Amino acid sequence: MKKPIRSLLLALVCVLFFGAEGFSQSTPQVFKGAQIIPISGEPINNGILVVEDGKITAIGGPNTRTPRGADVHDVSGHVLMPGLVDTHSHIGDGDGGDRSATLHPDVRIMDSIDPRSPSFKRALAGGITSVNVMPGSGHLMSGQTVYLKLRKANVIEDMLLYTDDEKTIYGGLKMANGTNPRGNPPSPGTRAKAASMVRELFIKAQEYQAKIEAADSDESKMPARDIGMETLIEVLEGKRIVHNHTHKHQDILTAMRLAEEFDYRLVLQHVSEAWKVADEIAASDNVLGASIITLDSFGGKVEAAEIKNSNGRYLEEAGALVGFHTDDGITDSRMFLRHAALGIKEGMSREEALKAVTFANAIMMDIDDRVGTLEEGKDADFIILDGDPFSVYTHVQQTWIEGQKVWDRSNEEDKKYATGGYQIYPGTIHTHHGEGGLK
C-alpha cells in the first residue's frame, strides 16, 4: 500500500474511532519555569501550568505531572499571572444613550462596538483579557454595559462573556450621578432631582414586574413588552449588576441608598472620595465592591478634586472589596498595572493590589467562576511578564486567552500596539458626551 493512501486510511480510522470532535482537540500546553502568581494562593517558584482545551488542568511546583505529547514552553525567568480584568473601560468605539432622555435602560452598547477597533489590541498589550465596556456617564442611566473576553473575533458576539446559563445576560447597567448627568431637561438640574428620577423609574419597573407575575404566563394578561423595563427587572432580580459612576461622598451614599431601597447589586465606579465613606461602603450588603482609579498627575473635573491615591488603602482597611479600572481612554490600558502600583505606594498591601486587577474585578463582573485566578478548571487566561508586575521596567511579553496566544511582544505587528501612538490609535484623544475628566 502506498504511503499517502495508508496515511489517509489511518486518519479515517481515527475519525471513526475517536469521533470528529475528539480528533480535533488541541495539543496540551505546558508552561514551566516561571514564577507563577495564582492570586488564589502563594506565588509558586519554578512553577508549572498545564492547559488543555482552553482550561487549566494542573498548576503547581516543578514536580507537577504533565501530559505526554504536550507543547512545552520554557518561560524561566518570567512571571506568569492571571489575565487582567478591567471593570470600567470605553475601548471598542461604542456609545450609549442620547439626549432624547436621561434614562436609557433599553440601550445596549454592544450594538455599537467595533470588534476590529485597535483599542482592543491596546488592552491586550497591557495584559487585559476580560473587560467591562461601558457607555459614557452623561446620563443618569446611559445603557447596558457589555462584558467581553478579548478573543480574536470578527463579530462582537464571539467576544461576549455570558453571566447566566440561559446565555442572555452579558453585561451590567451603567448609571451615573453627581455632575455628569445634570443639565437642561430632560436631564435633571440638581442632585436631588436626579435621585428622584431614578427612584421613579425603578418603581415603574416594580409595577411592570408585578403585572408579569400576576399574568402567570397567560399571554392575554401580559403587559405590552417594554425592553427597558425588562432590563430593570433583571437588575431587581439580581441578574444584572448596576455599575454606578460616582465621585463625591454624598453621591456615593445616594447611589448606595438607592441600591438598598430597591435591593439591587451595585459596583461603585471611581468613588473619588471613597476615603471619606470607606466604612459605609464596606458595611453595605448591596455593594459588591468599589472600582477605583489612581492618577499620576491630578487635575481635571472639580468633582474629583479630592480624589486620593490612598483610596485603595482606606477601602482595604475598612474591609471593602476593591478593584482598579482604566476608564480607557482616560488612562491607557497598556499601563493598567500602574494603578495597582500607585495603590501600593500609598499603603495598599501587595496581595490586595494584585487581587484588585484580577479576582476582585472578576467578582464585580460575575465572572469569578471562570477568570481572575489560576486554578484547575478555570479558563486559561494568563499573561507572561519579564519582571515583577509592579516594576516600571516590566513589560507584558505575551497574553493568552483560553489557551490561545492572542498577543506577543516579540511579534513586530503586535509590538506596535504596545509602543505606538497616534499613528496606531488615531482619534484616541476624546471625551464622552463632551465632558472632560473621569468618566
pLDDT in tens, the chain (439 residues): 444 455 444 444 444 433 433 333 489 999 999 999 999 999 999 999 999 999 999 999 999 999 999 999 999 999 999 999 999 999 999 999 999 999 999 999 999 999 999 999 999 999 999 999 999 999 999 999 999 999 999 999 999 999 999 999 999 999 999 999 999 999 999 999 999 999 999 999 999 999 999 999 999 999 999 999 999 999 999 999 999 999 999 999 999 999 999 999 999 999 999 999 999 999 999 999 999 999 887 877 889 999 999 999 999 999 999 999 999 989 999 999 999 999 999 999 999 999 999 999 999 999 999 999 999 999 999 999 999 999 999 999 999 999 999 999 999 999 999 999 888 888 654 444 433 344 5
Q: What are phi and psi of 86, to 5 degrees?
A: -110, 120
Residue 172, SS3? coil
Q: Please choose, from the candidates 397, 54, 53, 72, the residue with its C-alpha nearest in 3D space to the C-alpha of residue 62.
A: 72
Could you tell me which residues come within 8 angstroms of residue 391 by beta carbon, excluding any fewer than 6 positions away? none
Cell of 325: 479600572
Cell of 412: 513586530
Enclosing H/E stretch for 242: strand 242-246
Could you tell me which residues come within 8 angstroms of residue 171 by beta carbon, excluding any fewer than 6 positions away? 108, 109, 110, 132, 144, 145, 146, 147, 240
Q: Please choose, from the candidates 65, 64, 62, 112, the residue with its C-alpha nearest in 3D space to the C-alpha of residue 92.
A: 112
Burial class (CB in 10 A: 0-12, 13-18, 19+), 155: exposed
Cell of 110: 454592544
Using alpha carbons only, give the angle 283, 317, 262 rounded to the nearest 5 degrees. 20
**Which strands form 48-52's sheet, in the order they lie side by side?**
55-60, 48-52, 29-32, 71-74
Could you tell me which residues come within 8 angstroms of residue 312 by beta carbon, excluding any fewer than 6 positions away? 292, 294, 322, 324, 340, 343, 346, 347, 348, 352, 353, 356
Q: Could you tell me the domains of the chain?
A: 83-369 (3.20.20.140)
DSSP 350-383: HHHHHHTTTHHHHHHTT-TTTSSS--TTSB--EE
Q: Please choose, from the candidates 145, 150, 139, 162, the residue with its C-alpha nearest in 3D space to the C-alpha of residue 110.
A: 145
Residue 58, SS3? strand
Q: Is the peptide bond before 299 cis (omega within 30 degrees of 0)?
A: no
What does each C-alpha distance from 303 to 178, 196, 251, 362 come to in angstroms? Answer: 8, 21, 10, 28
Residues in the chain: 439
Distance, CA of 317 to chain centre: 24
Residue 167, SS3? coil
- Residue 81 has a CB neighbour count (10 Å cut-off) of 24
